[in-house]
Amino acid sequence: MQTTKRTGPTNILVRMTIRKLRSAAHRNKAPIWRYVAELIERPRRLRIVVNVSKINRYTEPGDVVVVPGKVLGAGSIDHPVTVAALGFSEEAARKIVSAGGRIMHILQLIEENPRGSKVKIII
């Protein structure tokens, strides 16, 4: 008998995040969370990595942003934004907070904004 190898993310936190995103999308009729779950479920080599400079370029002060991957610290940010992601480098977290912004995990953003209204996805 041959056993099948697991496909998809093996990290338990990532799997739990995907499951909760899909549940929130269905429960709140918010397709944005289903799309974020699909982006996170991609293979690891295609996982999204965004620098702080890109967030600075595509946001306005007070925006709420979802990064379905990791935020890295290259570049600078000069206005306060709320960033939700799977992970942050220490440098990225420091830069966002020092600009007056907030950082959080994607699941925290779902609790704060179940419908996903006025949320930008940066990929």
Provide long-range contacts, Cβ within 8 A and 24+ apart, for 9-13: 9/40, 9/41, 9/44
Q: Report the distance separating Cα 28 and Cα 55, nearest Å.
A: 27
Question: pLDDT means per 10 residues in the chain (123 residues)?
Answer: 73 94 97 97 92 97 97 97 97 97 97 96 95
Residue 1: what pLDDT?
Answer: 64
Residue 7: what pLDDT?
Answer: 73
CATH topology of domain 12-121: Ribosomal Protein L15; Chain: K; domain 2 (3.100.10)
Q: Where are the domains of the chain?
A: 12-121
Q: Report the distance separating Cα 43 and Cα 83, nearest Å.
A: 23
